[in-house]
């Protein structure tokens, strides 16, 4: 049976039903029922199809039906190539165009050898409602038609497949967001949200990230494995999250790497500013308010809070703490707010892997720091920060990535010199990148590479001078140290003498 015939037959049947509905009133009740019964039998004999409709708005809902939206997405990616007439919707906050089937357009989908017809259509109400919530009162719907014999597979498998696919497409095309918790005073209203956000558009990717290719590969594999390991985490009884600690000197690409991670996995980013979190309770609220498929970032964790200091104090003497807390209470509420954050180390540890951290799933927690040795070991033990990644000064391999990205050169006679200089000097990828960037229209690869060589030589000279200076200072300090030590010994000796004398006196 041709597809065309199928639809025509369908509308012919609908026509007959319509005529029947008008004439029915003139038949005696019983006869009417009889005729209807046989008519339905006849219909199912010559029209062996099943139809399912999906309306855009269900009942009184003001929200578009989820199924309708999913079907729309599914059909627009799977059928927009086949449909002849398309409708373009500009999605408001997305600034992108979504193509979908135009009204009364039909497409055929195939699933496991089964043919499924989809039609988009609308009903226009006879009378326009006086007060309409939507500007147009047309009711749109999708109609699915399939063969009766495929009923089970269509209703049980195919529809689920369509909904899942629609969901997947939504995840892929959604706009990712960058959230932050720092806010101005005026926003402390009643309905304030814990996080405010902007659209996340950072161009950094793992391709543009300059680092040792082996290390990069390892991190990429780690991330990909994580994003696919839902069942594994469930099996081993861990909540589905992973901690990364990125450390290294400023300008080595820690922030860039976080952006690259978000771009790779298509996650949202929550940039947590610890200093504007009031206390541990607020920290927990923030955590609960995050969605899955996200990266929670705490940058420069060593600077955010004096975490190590607080802990030592607690271990120290209890009396002092008690006194402190009484003083705090006396100062009153207002002062507390001005004082900034009262988040403690244990609050933060709980944030990372306490019971509450299990809400939501598929999350990365990333800390960055310039001084890894300053952090409390409890904070960065495996299980909390599962993977420690050191980003360090630019090596030759990193340089090659930068040269390719910034200048489009993959090899050059100056590369050898640069490689040697990079081994002798420490220069961050940020500085190398800056030197490689053309500063005027006349700049080309040669001049940029020469610029870099010059900077590297300068840096080397500077480092040499600094080393000499440092050595000098150290020598002086040692000298002084020796002197004071000698003095100390003398003092001690004289003390001893006094002591002896004292004893003599006693005797
Ligand atoms: N490894 C890298 N690959 C590519 N570009 C880099 C790399 N490291 C630094 N850059 C460049 O330098 C700039 C600064 O890097 P980034 O902000 O990632 O450094 P950071 O390690 O986060 O520094 P900080 O510790 O000060 O926060 C970036 O905009 C990027 O262009
Ligand atoms: Mg940074």
* Pocket mutation for ligand 1, best pick of 430, 431, 432, 437 (most atoms within 8 Å of C-beta): 430
Question: How many Cα atoms are found within 13 Å in the side-chain-facing hemisphere of 43?
Answer: 17
Give the model's pLDDT for residue 290: 87
How far is residue 271's CA from residue 294's CA, in Å, rounded to a whole number?
A: 10
**Among 110, 120, 121, which residue's Cα sits nearest to residue 154?**
110
Nearest CA to ligand 1 atom 8: 253
Atom of ligand 1 nearest to the CA of 433: 11
Pocket of ligand 1 (CB under 6 A): 208-211, 250-256, 370, 429-430, 433
Question: How many Cα atoms are found within 13 Å in the side-chain-facing hemisphere of 108?
Answer: 11
CA 459 to chain centre: 37
User: pLDDT tens digits for 28-66?
Assistant: 777 777 777 887 777 777 777 888 888 887 766 566 778
Distant-in-sequence, close-in-space partners of 173: CB < 8 Å, separation ≥ 6: 96
How far is residue 330's CA from residue 328's CA, in Å, rounded to a whole number?
A: 5
**Among 233, 230, 320, which residue's Cα sits nearest to residue 328?**
320
User: pLDDT tens digits for 391-413?
Assistant: 999 999 999 999 999 999 999 99
User: pLDDT tens digits for 197-251?
Assistant: 888 889 999 999 999 999 999 999 999 999 999 999 989 988 899 999 999 999 9
User: pLDDT tens digits for 147-171?
Assistant: 888 888 888 889 899 888 888 887 7
Mean pLDDT of the chain: 79
Q: Which ligand is in closest contact with the Cα of 250?
A: 1
Nearest CA to ligand 1 atom 12: 430
Give the model's pLDDT for residue 130: 53
Q: Which residues pair with 268 in a beta bridge?
A: 294
The residue written with tokens 């003139």 in the block is: 26
Nearest CA to ligand 1 atom 11: 430
And the tokens for 38? 């046989």
Average pLDDT in the 67-88 region? 74
- The alpha carbon of 209 and the centre of ligand 1 are apart by a number of angstroms equal to 9
Decide if 65 contacts 57 (C-beta within 8 A). Answer: yes
Give the model's pLDDT for residue 270: 94
Nearest CA to ligand 1 atom 17: 255
DSSP 90-135: EEGGGTEEEEEEPTT-EEEEEETTEEEEEEEEEE--SS--SS-SSS
User: pLDDT tens digits for 316-349?
Assistant: 344 444 444 444 444 443 444 445 677 888 888 8
- The alpha carbon of 359 and the centre of ligand 2 are apart by a number of angstroms equal to 28
Give the model's pLDDT for residue 7: 60
Average pLDDT in the 103-131 region? 76
pTM, rounded to two decimals: 0.67
User: pLDDT tens digits for 441-472?
Assistant: 888 999 999 999 999 999 999 999 999 999 99
**pLDDT cut 90: percent of the chain above it:** 32
- The alpha carbon of 437 and the centre of ligand 2 are apart by a number of angstroms equal to 20
Average pLDDT in the 287-311 region? 77
Distant-in-sequence, close-in-space partners of 171: CB < 8 Å, separation ≥ 6: 266, 293
Give the model's pLDDT for residue 319: 43
Decide if 244 contacts 387 (C-beta within 8 A). Answer: yes
- The alpha carbon of 251 and the centre of ligand 1 are apart by a number of angstroms equal to 4
260-264, 304-308, 385-389: range with lowest mean pLDDT:
304-308
Give the model's pLDDT for residue 436: 92
How far is residue 110's CA from residue 101's CA, in Å, rounded to a whole number?
A: 17
- The alpha carbon of 352 and the centre of ligand 1 are apart by a number of angstroms equal to 25
> What single DSSP character describes residue 239?
-
Quickly count: other Cβ atoms within 10 Å of residue 32's Cβ.
15
Decide if 97 contacts 89 (C-beta within 8 A). Answer: yes
Atom of ligand 1 nearest to the CA of 368: 25
Nearest CA to ligand 1 atom 10: 430
Nearest CA to ligand 1 atom 31: 430
User: pLDDT tens digits for 269-286?
Assistant: 999 988 888 888 888 888
Decide if 167 contacts 134 (C-beta within 8 A). Answer: no
Nearest CA to ligand 1 atom 27: 250
The model's confidence at residue 80, banded by pLDDT at 50, 70 and 90, is: low
Q: Which residues pair with 242 in a beta bridge?
A: 364
* Pocket mutation for ligand 1, best pick of 212, 216, 249, 255 (most atoms within 8 Å of C-beta): 255
Q: Which ligand is in closest contact with the Cα of 401?
A: 1
Q: Which ligand is in closest contact with the Cα of 369?
A: 1
Decide if 360 contacts 351 (C-beta within 8 A). Answer: no
How far is the CA of 33 from the CAs of 17, 18, 25, 30, 491, in angstroms? 14, 16, 11, 5, 121
* Pocket mutation for ligand 1, best pick of 211, 246, 252 (most atoms within 8 Å of C-beta): 252
How far is residue 145's CA from residue 116's CA, in Å, rounded to a whole number?
A: 6
The model's confidence at residue 307, banded by pLDDT at 50, 70 and 90, is: low
User: pLDDT tens digits for 346-379?
Assistant: 888 888 888 877 777 889 999 999 988 888 888 8
The residue written with tokens 């964790």 in the block is: 301
**Among 116, 85, 122, 117, which residue's Cα sits nearest to residue 100?**
85
How many residues appear in the chain?
Answer: 507
> What single DSSP character describes residue 360?
S
Give the model's pLDDT for residue 229: 92
């Amino acid at each position: 049976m041709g597809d065309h015939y199928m639809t025509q037959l369908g509308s012919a049947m609908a026509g007959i039903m319509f005529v029947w509905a008008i004439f029915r009133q003139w038949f005696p009740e019983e006869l009417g029922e009889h005729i209807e019964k046989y008519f339905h039998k006849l219909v199912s004999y010559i029209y062996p199809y099943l139809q399912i409709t999906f309306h855009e708005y269900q009942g009184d809902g003001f929200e578009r039906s989820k199924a309708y939206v999913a079907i729309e997405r599914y059909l627009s990616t799977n059928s927009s190539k086949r449909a002849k007439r398309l409708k373009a919707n500009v999605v408001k906050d997305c600034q992108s165009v979504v193509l979908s089937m135009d009204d009364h357009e039909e497409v055929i989908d195939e699933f496991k050898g089964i043919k499924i017809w989809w039609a988009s259509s609308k009903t226009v109400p006879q009378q326009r409602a006086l007060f309409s919530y939507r500007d147009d009162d047309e009711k749109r719907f999708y109609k699915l038609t399939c063969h009766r014999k495929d009923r089970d597979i269509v209703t049980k498998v195919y529809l689920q497949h369509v909904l899942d696919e629609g969901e997947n497409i939504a995840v892929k095309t959604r706009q990712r967001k960058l959230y932050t918790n720092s806010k101005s005073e005026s926003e402390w209203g009643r309905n304030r949200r814990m996080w405010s956000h902007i659209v996340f558009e950072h161009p950094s990717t793992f391709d543009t990230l300059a680092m040792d290719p082996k290390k990069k590969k390892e991190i990429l594999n780690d991330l990909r494995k994580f994003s696919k390991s839902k069942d594994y985490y469930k099996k081993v009884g861990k909540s589905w999250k992973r901690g990364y600690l990125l450390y290294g000197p400023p300008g080595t690409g820690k922030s860039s790497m976080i952006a690259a991670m978000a771009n790779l996995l298509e996650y949202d980013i929550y940039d947590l500013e610890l200093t504007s979190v009031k206390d541990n309770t607020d920290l927990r609220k923030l955590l609960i308010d995050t969605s899955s498929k996200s990266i929670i970032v705490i940058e420069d964790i060593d600077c955010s809070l004096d975490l190590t200091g607080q802990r030592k104090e607690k271990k120290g003497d209890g009396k002092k703490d008690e006194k402190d807390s009484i003083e705090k209470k006396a100062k009153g509420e207002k002062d507390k707010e001005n004082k900034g954050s009262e988040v403690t180390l244990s609050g933060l540890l709980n944030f990372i892997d306490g019971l509450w951290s299990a809400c939501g799933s598929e999350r990365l927690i990333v800390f960055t720091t310039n001084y890894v040795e300053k952090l409390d070991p409890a904070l960065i033990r495996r299980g909390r920060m599962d993977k420690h990644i050191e980003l360090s000064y630019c090596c030759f391999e990193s340089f090659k990535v930068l040269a390719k990205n910034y200048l489009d050169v993959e090899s050059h006679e100056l590369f050898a010199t640069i490689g040697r200089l990079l081994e002798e000097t420490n220069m961050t990828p940020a500085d190398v990148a800056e030197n490689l960037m053309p500063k005027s229209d006349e700049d080309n690869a040669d001049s940029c590479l020469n610029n870099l060589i010059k900077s590297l030589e300068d840096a080397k000279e500077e480092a040499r001078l600094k080393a000499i200076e440092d050595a000098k200072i150290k020598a002086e300090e040692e000298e002084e140290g020796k002197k004071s030590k000698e003095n100390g010994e003398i003092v001690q000796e004289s003390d001893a003498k006094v002591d002896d004398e004292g004893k003599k006196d006693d005797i």
